[in-house]
Amino acid sequence: MSIMQYNGGSVIAMVGKDCVAIASDLRLGVQSLSISSNFEKIFPVTDRLYIGLPGLASDVTTLREQFRYRVNMYTIKEEREIEPQAFAQLVSSTLYEKRFGPYFIEPVIAGMQKTPSGSYAPFIAATDLIGCLNFAKDFVVAGTASEKLFGVAEGLWEPDLEAEDLFETISQTLLNAVDRDAFSGWGAIVHVITKDKIVILSSSAFISPGLGLAS
């Protein structure tokens, strides 16, 4: 089995009308043995920018620390917050820097991007483990349940969903995909980001029926 599947876990991000959402499961395992049902893979970068890091759990922590450092340096030097577009490039170069000995992570980025007119537009992106960027207009997926996430998202997602509807769509997509994946699940967390910097953080452990094991 590949190192990408060793700890398990999945992340998805979706675009809505003047909002974006990013969600993940909370499992951490060693192959098929579950160790924790509270391992977060999504981290805030700024008030309206989040990054999800599914893959090898060791690199989740390492990259989270690495990105925090680099974003802090950027903020100090530029005297402004980093925009999602720029952050996506930073993620890409950070990963490509380790082209021949990569971090085993496939990041997912979701945020609200400032437009020249001063308003905010939804932004999502994903990369592979060596930093090849994929900008999508609808949704991006990554992790051990990525095939299932693609299938369910393809069926449920539609353009211009309002924040509440987007929350429902991303939650159902994640939960139903993760239920068919042995390496993901055990609780979930959803973040909805709207243009006025308001982050609805609908938290943890709505565990799917029949899997009430997690404590």
Smallest gap from Cβ 127 to another protein, in A, equals: 20
Is residue 112 near another protein by the rule CB under 8 A?
no
Coil, helix or strand at residue 156 = helix
Smallest gap from Cβ 37 to another protein, in A, equals: 9
CA distance 149 to 87: 24
Residues whose CB falls within 8 Å of the CB of residue 186, separated by 6 or more in sequence, listed in order: 25, 26, 27, 34, 37, 207, 211, 213, 214
Is residue 57 near another protein by the rule CB under 8 A?
yes
Contacts with another protein: how many residues (CB under 8 A)?
Answer: 17
Q: 11, 22, 56, 190: which one contacts another protein (CB under 8 A)? A: 56
Is residue 35 near another protein by the rule CB under 8 A?
yes
Is residue 205 near another protein by the rule CB under 8 A?
no
Per-residue three-class SS string for 87-114: HHHHHHHHHHCCCCCCCCECCEEEEEEE
Is residue 5 near another protein by the rule CB under 8 A?
no
Smallest gap from Cβ 74 to another protein, in A, equals: 22
Chain positions contacting another protein, by CB under 8 A: 7, 28, 30, 33, 35-36, 38-39, 56-58, 61-62, 65, 101, 213, 215
